[in-house]
Each structure stands twice: as structure tokens, then as C-alpha cells.
């Protein structure tokens, strides 16, 4: 730079503002406003939304399972996937285009780490972590495949006793992926598999395509696992069952022997519901809050 240019440069006054006492929420709002119209990608825009849902999305995106996937997670891609998992766990299978995600974030600002949805998301990701004990899963090589295995895991966990099915699900996924990949590369194979290839590579955010992929996978998994045990659809004890269990156990925690007040009591499954335990009086017991929590973690 010479002469005038250099002077202009030297004389240029750079304005700066320090945001004192600004909370995270305010900063994000300001950032969102300043960036409007600039080329931010979808997760960067979501990350600038107000509300508890953003720390929830970040928390979910920090789950160790994300380190096992085989595709780039640059520029907040983890957050983009986390946002879709939240949406799908909350509303069921639906469109996952950016527009839909923005609307979802706008109308679910208060969805937090403590919400049922967040707990379910974490439960599913923890389960997936056990299903794939290896440090890398080369077969989870796109966002679609991540969503496929997530949805399959979520639905199976909700309805079936998956306790001894980790290996079955693992091998099923790897083998199915190989079949689909082969069909994709050679453009030949069963009609259904070719349709799956299409739904998994084009319009991957459309409800119809996500539905198709999910049905395809769950039907094939169940065909190969006919002995799988359906969970008791009734997972909560009703008032009468609760009363009888409380009277039978005389209101004492069956684990530590502490007296549990009726107001603080919730009937607990002796054999956990997720492991095929029935919602029956004989499978119910009184537990205090802390024993319930520590047993629940096991
Ligand atoms: Zn106790």
C-alpha cells in the first residue's frame, strides 16, 4: 500500500463494543440478529437461537458416540444431527429440512437437558455406544445412516427387550449396510434395496424417505429376530396396584429399609420394564427416591 491508501488505512477508526453483563442468551440473540443474511450454515444459525434448547443440542452433540462416526463433523455438523434427533424424538418421524428445524427451535425454546426427550435421546445414544463397542464404525458414513441406526435403536428400545440383543443389532446393521452399499455401487439388486439406496441418498430429509428407511430396517431386523420379547405396553402401575404394593411392603424401601411417605412413593419394577419386567403387583415394590435413582443407573 502506498500514499493515500496507507493514510486511509492508518486513519481508519475501528469501532469495538464490549458487552458487559450480557448473558449467554442476550449474546446469542445479538449474534443471531447481526448475522442475519450472512452465510451461516444451519447448525450455526441454530446455535444462535435463544432458549434452553441450544445448550441441550450442544450437550447431545458432545455425546461420545459422535466420535465413532466416519464422516466429517466440521462446522457444527454434530449440532445439526443433534437438532434432528431432538425433533424426531419429540415429534416422531417428520420432515427434517432446515425450515422445520428453525420452527421447532422457535416453538420449543424451553426444552432442556432435564426434559423427557433429552433423557430418551441420551438413553438411545448410550445404547448405540454399547451396540457398537468399537472405537470407529466405518459403516456409519453419512448423516442418513446415523439417523437410520438412531431411529431403529430408539424404536427397538421403546418396545422390545434389547438386553441381550446388542450383538444381533450390531451385526444386522453392518450386514445391511454392506448389502445397500453393494446395490448403490453396482446399481443392481432387489427392488426394495434399490429404493432404500434412493431414499438414503436423495431427499434424505423428507418424511416419506425417512419412513421408508425406518420400515425397511425394522421389518428386516424383526424377521431375523423372531424370538425378541415385546415389552409390557402398560409401563405405569395404576392407583390400585400402587396402593396394594405399598400396603404389602408396609411403606418400607425394599432396598435400604427406609420408610417412604406415600407422597414420595412411586411403585418400582423389580425386574426392570426395559428388561422385559411386567407391570404387575408381583413385579412391583416400594423404593425410596435415592435407591430408585441408583438402581435406575445400573
Ligand atoms: Zn432406599
Instruction: Give 102-135 pLDDT, tens digit per residue.
Output: 999 999 999 999 999 999 999 999 999 999 999 9
CA of 254 to the centre of ligand 1 (A): 7
Residue 157 confidence (pLDDT) above 80: yes
CA of 292 to the centre of ligand 1 (A): 7
CA of 290 to the centre of ligand 1 (A): 6
Whole-number pLDDT of residue 141: 97
CA of 268 to the centre of ligand 1 (A): 11
Residue 115 · residue 56 · CB < 8 Å: yes
Phi, psi of 269 (to 5 degrees): -75, 125
* pLDDT confidence bin for 35, thresholds 50/70/90: low
CA of 224 to the centre of ligand 1 (A): 41
User: What share of residues in the chain are helix, strand, coil (percent, to 5)?
Assistant: 60, 5, 40
> Residue 195, class by beta-carbon neighbours within 10 Å (0-12 exposed, 13-18 middle, 19+ buried)?
middle
Whole-number pLDDT of residue 13: 78
CA of 266 to the centre of ligand 1 (A): 12
For the residues of 224-253, what is the DSSP string, one character each? H-TTPPBPPS--S--HHHHHHHHHHTTTB-
* pLDDT confidence bin for 26, thresholds 50/70/90: confident
Give per-residue pLDDT as tens, 173-191: 999 999 999 999 999 999 9
Residue 264 · residue 292 · CB < 8 Å: no
Whole-number pLDDT of residue 297: 52
Whole-number pLDDT of residue 193: 97
CA of 255 to the centre of ligand 1 (A): 5
CA of 197 to the centre of ligand 1 (A): 52
CA of 120 to the centre of ligand 1 (A): 25
Please give the sequence-ordered ranges of beta strands (E in DSSP) within the chain, or none if there are none.
268-269, 284-285
Q: For residue 230, how many C-alpha atoms fall within 13 Å in the half-sphere facing its CB?
A: 5
CA of 272 to the centre of ligand 1 (A): 16
Residue 298 confidence (pLDDT) above 60: no
> How far apart (Å, rounded) are the C-alpha atoms in residues 69 and 80?
14
- Please report, in angstroms and rounded to a whole number, the separation of the first and last CA atoms in the chain: 68
CA of 287 to the centre of ligand 1 (A): 5
Mean pLDDT, residues 63-86 = 96
CATH architecture of 239-297: Orthogonal Bundle (1.10)
For the residues of 187-225, what is the DSSP string, one character each? T-S-HHHHHHHHHHHSSTTSHHHHHHHHHHHHHHHHHH-
Mean pLDDT, residues 139-159 = 97
Contacts 24+ apart (CB under 8 A), 187-193: 192/216
CA of 257 to the centre of ligand 1 (A): 6
Mean pLDDT, residues 39-62 = 94
Amino acid at each position: 500500500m502506498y500514499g493515500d491508501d496507507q493514510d486511509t488505512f492508518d486513519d481508519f477508526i475501528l469501532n469495538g463494543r464490549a458487552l458487559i453483563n450480557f448473558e449467554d442468551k442476550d449474546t446469542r440473540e445479538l449474534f443471531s440478529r447481526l448475522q442475519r443474511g450472512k452465510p451461516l450454515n444451519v447448525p450455526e444459525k441454530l446455535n444462535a437461537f435463544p432458549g434452553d434448547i441450544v445448550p441441550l443440542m450442544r450437550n447431545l452433540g458432545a455425546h461420545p458416540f459422535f466420535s465413532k462416526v466416519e464422516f466429517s463433523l466440521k462446522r457444527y455438523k454434530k449440532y445439526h444431527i443433534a437438532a434432528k434427533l431432538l425433533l424426531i424424538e419429540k415429534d416422531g418421524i417428520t420432515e427434517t429440512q432446515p425450515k422445520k428445524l428453525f420452527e421447532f427451535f422457535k416453538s420449543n425454546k424451553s426444552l432442556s437437558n432435564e426434559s423427557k426427550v433429552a433423557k430418551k435421546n441420551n438413553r438411545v445414544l448410550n445404547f448405540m455406544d454399547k451396540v457398537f463397542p468399537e472405537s470407529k464404525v466405518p459403516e456409519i458414513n453419512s448423516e442418513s445412516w446415523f439417523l437410520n441406526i438412531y431411529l431403529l435403536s430408539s424404536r427397538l428400545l421403546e418396545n422390545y427387550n434389547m438386553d441381550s440383543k446388542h450383538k444381533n443389532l450390531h451385526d444386522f446393521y453392518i450386514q445391511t449396510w454392506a448389502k445397500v452399499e453393494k446395490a448403490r455401487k453396482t446399481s443392481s439388486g432387489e427392488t426394495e434395496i434399490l429404493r432404500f439406496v434412493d431414499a438414503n441418498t436423495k431427499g434424505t430429509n423428507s418424511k416419506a424417505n425417512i419412513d421408508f428407511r425406518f420400515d425397511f430396517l425394522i421389518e428386516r431386523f424383526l424377521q431375523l429376530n423372531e424370538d425378541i420379547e415385546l415389552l409390557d405396553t402398560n409401563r405405569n402401575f395404576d392407583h390400585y396396584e400402587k396402593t396394594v404394593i405399598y400396603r404389602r411392603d408396609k411403606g418400607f424401601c425394599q432396598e435400604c429399609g427406609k420408610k417412604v411417605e406415600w407422597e414420595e412413593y412411586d411403585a418400582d419394577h423389580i425386574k426392570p420394564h426395559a428388561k422385559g419386567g411386567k407391570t404387575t403387583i408381583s413385579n412391583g415394590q416400594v423404593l425410596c427416591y435415592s435407591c430408585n435413582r441408583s438402581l435406575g443407573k445400573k
